[in-house]
Amino acid sequence: PPSIESLQEQLSSLGVSDSLPVFPYSNPTTNPVDIFRCYISETLAGISGVDSKLIYDALEWTQSFEKGDLILAIPRLRLKGQKPDVIAKEWAEKFPENPYTEPIKAAGTFLQFFFKTEILKQLVIPTILKRKSAYGPVNTGKGKRVIVEFSSPNIAKPFHAGHLRSTIIGGFLSNLHESCGWDVVRMNYLGDWGKQFGILGVGFKRFGSEEKLLADPIHHLFEVYVQINRIIEEEKEVEKKAAEAAGVKQTHNGPTDEEAKNFFVRMENGDEEAVALWKRFRELSIEKYIATYARLNIQYDVYSGESQVSKETMQKVSQMLKEKNISEESEGAVIVDLTKHSKKLGKAIVQKKDGTTLYLTRDIGAAMERYEQYKFDKMIYVVASQQDLHLQQLFKILSLLEFDWADRVQHINFGMVLGMSTRKGTVVFLDDILAEAKDRMHEVMKKNEEKYKQVENPDAIADTVGRTGVMIQDMSGKRINNYNFDLDRMTSFEGDTGPYLQYAHSRLCSISRKAAIPEEDILNADLSLLTETHATNLLRCLAQYPDVLQNTLRTLEPTTVVTWLFKMTHLLSSSYDVLRVIGEDPKKAAARLALYESARQVLNNGMKLLGLSPVERM
Ligand code: ARG
């Protein structure tokens, strides 16, 4: 980022003579709105005697431009004595005329600040055009490390909607932190251990095909898993009937189930043959995952998984739980009774009768190993809200174990996707979802014959835009809400959809191409020619982007960014007719293009942050 000195220089060249008070908690060189914040809070502090930091923190952005660019709710300052509306009036009157803000408005107990658009455009547009992809994020995470654990599918089982959402949200949260200076470890914690791998091992020996395994490991393993499970179910039924007929309690589930149990015991004991087979399943699946995630612009730093937690760590877990009196024996198993702390946490089993460990226990060990290795400042688990209880139990146990990092873990949960099925059926794999979204998108594009003919690589565009549709639909609402998987809606150009965003981006690219104004001229454009309300509102909106990202770091909601992007692109759509570039006087055209180019840059930045690939033509 540029230095404060160069900012002061820039300000004085704009005729803003007072030197700007710069507060340590503000970032005026990367976020132009902070310049206004600094000025306003310093000035109000002078008028009122209230601490400037208090005012600074209380300045909020507005929901609509009629209410100003920033707003101050006087009651937030918790002043004693005078009534807030009286204070508002008094301060507004005393606020001096200045180069940054229009006369202050008192509206009830609020003060409304409208930025002078003349200075706003001189600060915002050059900042965007010069900082380009760096415009938006503020380096607040420098020196800090975060692990984002996301996606985490189970090998040999379908990649379901929960995994899809985790992938999309986790990818976004990783990008967000990275852009703000965090050292991000992207981690995929695979479900790659447990009795189901005993089942799979036995199944593969009976029905597996080397050829199919190599060609398509994910589908083939699932196929085998389903096939062997059917047999286990059938045998279980036979055993049940036999037990009923004999009038005794059913004690086992049949020979195949026994075989599977034994296979897993062999795995746990490190039997070479069993482990080697499992290892191939794992490696071939990961190879496939890597390719699929790449389509979503996601690359993992680590493919960890339940299998990767070491025996020693697991022993340490059970020993610590015992020593700290957290666990107790119960009918041969080891449990942790969390009801002592909170009824809803229930009792959790940490070790089965046969000595094998469980999902929860492995999570405790995994967290310990991760801290050992990464010394994270924060760790985020992006997991469906169906597992709320599991993560609450995990977090409670970590805190009972008195790890000093126990308060650095966070569960980012989300609701369900309803009605997710493709033409192939209701069992869904990520690849199939993407393929279907692409096909649908392609059909939608073909409907506009004229345009379709001009698209150079319709197949690739359909793929990218279809994927955008899937992802935008997922990130449009609050995470916790369920939503309907609606392929028709997500591939439509109407409404707040992925294709709409892509269209907005490609249209801006097309304006730039057609105008063909050299970059030099755009950078030196006379911005005072941007006088129309459409232009200034778009500008005011673009100025908010760094604040939107800061706010998103608090909400950790993709929708915070998505909603803003739609607000901005709506302003754009209504501007094209008013703010023409082609055929305009060259000076005006250059100024307008500077504004459009700023909008394109910010849209591009926002889309990439969401994990999308903005297209230039469609
Ligand atoms: N593999 C699990 C599942 O599909 C999700 C893992 C979530 N992460 C964790 N650390 N437990 O249900």
Q: Enumerate residues 6+ apart whose C-beta is below 8 A from 449.
A: none
Can you tell me the mean pLDDT for 414-433?
A: 78
| Catalytic option among 144, 157, 236, 570 | 157
CA 264 to chain centre: 36
What is the per-residue pLDDT for 422? 64
Alpha carbon distance 613, 172 (integer Å): 13
Alpha carbon distance 176, 186 (integer Å): 12
Query: What's the CA-to-centroid distance between 363 and ligand 1, angstroms?
Result: 9
Could you report the per-residue pLDDT of 331-378, keeping only the tens digit for each?
A: 999 999 999 999 999 999 999 887 777 899 999 999 999 999 999 999
Query: How crowded is residue 215: how many other Cβ atoms within 10 Å of its Cβ?
Result: 11
Alpha carbon distance 44, 533 (integer Å): 28
Residue pair 483/418 in contact by the 8 Å Cβ criterion: yes
Residue pair 447/382 in contact by the 8 Å Cβ criterion: no
What is the per-residue pLDDT for 261? 92
Closest CA to 189 of 41, 391, 11: 391
DSSP 345-402: G-EEEEE-TTS-B-HHHHHHHHHHHHHHHH--SEEEEE--GGGHHHHHHHHHHHHHTT
Using the atom order of ligand 1, give the atom closest to the CA of residue 363.
10
DSSP 409-421: EEEE---PEES--
Closest CA to 263 of 220, 228, 213: 228
Report whether residue 189 contacts ligand 1, using a CB cutoff of 6 Å: yes
What is the per-residue pLDDT for 369? 98
Could you report the per-residue pLDDT of 137-180, keeping only the tens digit for each?
A: 999 999 999 999 999 999 988 888 889 999 999 999 999 999 99
Residue pair 180/201 in contact by the 8 Å Cβ criterion: no
Q: Strand runs (DSSP E) across 468-556, as ranges? A: 483-484
Q: Of the residues 151, 152, 190, which should be mutated to test ligand 1's pocket, given the most ligand atoms within 8 Å of the CB?
A: 152
What is the per-residue pLDDT for 15? 77
What is the per-residue pLDDT for 423? 67
Residue 303 φ/ψ, nearest 5 degrees = -100, 95
Alpha carbon distance 157, 225 (integer Å): 8
3-state secondary structure of 143: coil
419-429 burial, b at 16+ Cβ within 10 Å, e below that, comes to ebebeeeeebb
Minimum mean pLDDT among 133-142, 238-247, 266-275, 426-435: which range?
426-435
In the chain the domains, ranked by start, together with CATH numbers, are 4-115 (3.30.1360.70), 150-302 (3.40.50.620), 309-398 (no CATH), 430-475+486-609 (1.10.730.10)
Residue nearest atom 1 in ligand 1 by C-alpha distance: 191
Q: What's at 555, amino acid-wise?
A: T
Find the distance separating the first CA and the last CA of the chain, reported in whole Å. Answer: 34
Alpha carbon distance 533, 104 (integer Å): 20
Report whether residue 303 contacts ligand 1, using a CB cutoff of 6 Å: no
Alpha carbon distance 575, 19 (integer Å): 36
Can you tell me the mean pLDDT for 26-55?
A: 94
Alpha carbon distance 185, 181 (integer Å): 13
Q: Per-residue confidence at 327, pLDDT binned at 50, 70, 90?
A: very high
Using the atom order of ligand 1, give the atom closest to the CA of residue 162.
4
Residue nearest atom 10 in ligand 1 by C-alpha distance: 363
3-state secondary structure of 226: helix
Could you report the per-residue pLDDT of 492-547, keeping only the tens digit for each?
A: 999 999 999 999 999 999 999 999 999 999 999 999 999 999 999 999 999 999 99
Could you report the per-residue pLDDT of 372-406, keeping only the tens digit for each?
A: 999 999 999 999 999 999 999 999 999 999 999 99
Can you tell me the mean pLDDT for 571-599?
A: 97
Residue 459 φ/ψ, nearest 5 degrees = -65, -50
Could you report the per-residue pLDDT of 220-241, keeping only the tens digit for each?
A: 999 999 999 999 999 999 999 9
Could you report the per-residue pLDDT of 540-575, keeping only the tens digit for each?
A: 999 999 999 999 999 999 999 999 999 999 999 999
**163: annotated active-site residue:** yes
Can you tell me the mean pLDDT for 421-434?
A: 74
Q: Of the residues 307, 382, 387, which should be mutated to test ligand 1's pocket, given the most ligand atoms within 8 Å of the CB?
A: 387
Residue 59 φ/ψ, nearest 5 degrees = -75, 120
Can you tell me the mean pLDDT for 471-491?
A: 96
Query: What's the CA-to-centroid distance between 410 and ligand 1, angstroms?
Result: 14
What is the per-residue pLDDT for 389? 98
Query: What's the CA-to-centroid distance between 367 and ligand 1, angstroms?
Result: 13
Q: For the chain, what is the mean pLDDT?
A: 94
3-state secondary structure of 17: coil
Using the atom order of ligand 1, give the atom closest to the CA of residue 383.
7
What is the per-residue pLDDT for 6? 81
pLDDT exceeds 90 at position 586 = yes
pLDDT exceeds 90 at position 94 = yes
Report whether residue 158 contacts ligand 1, using a CB cutoff of 6 Å: no
Using the atom order of ligand 1, give the atom closest to the CA of residue 391.
11
Q: Per-residue confidence at 21, pLDDT binned at 50, 70, 90?
A: confident
- Which residue carries 């306003």 as its tokens? 40
What is the per-residue pLDDT for 17? 60
3-state secondary structure of 185: strand
Query: What's the CA-to-centroid distance between 147 and ligand 1, angstroms?
Result: 15
Residue pair 169/208 in contact by the 8 Å Cβ criterion: no
| Catalytic option among 163, 220, 261, 534 | 163
Alpha carbon distance 260, 257 (integer Å): 5
Helix (H) or strand (E) holding 303: strand 302-305
What the block records as the tokens of 515 is 């105008």
pLDDT exceeds 80 at position 426 = no
Q: Per-residue confidence at 136, pLDDT binned at 50, 70, 90?
A: very high
Residue nearest atom 4 in ligand 1 by C-alpha distance: 153
Give every strand in the sheet of 70-73, ordered side by side. Answer: 59-61, 70-73, 110-113, 105-107
What is the per-residue pLDDT for 10? 83
Taking phi over 0 as left and psi of -120 to 50 as alpha, with beta for the rest, 78 belongs to left
| Catalytic option among 121, 160, 442, 505 | 160
**DSSP code of residue 248:** S
**279: annotated active-site residue:** no
Distances (CA, A) of 391 to 38, 316, 360, 361, 388: 41, 20, 9, 12, 5
To the nearest whole percent, how much of the chain has pLDDT over 70? 98
**567: annotated active-site residue:** no
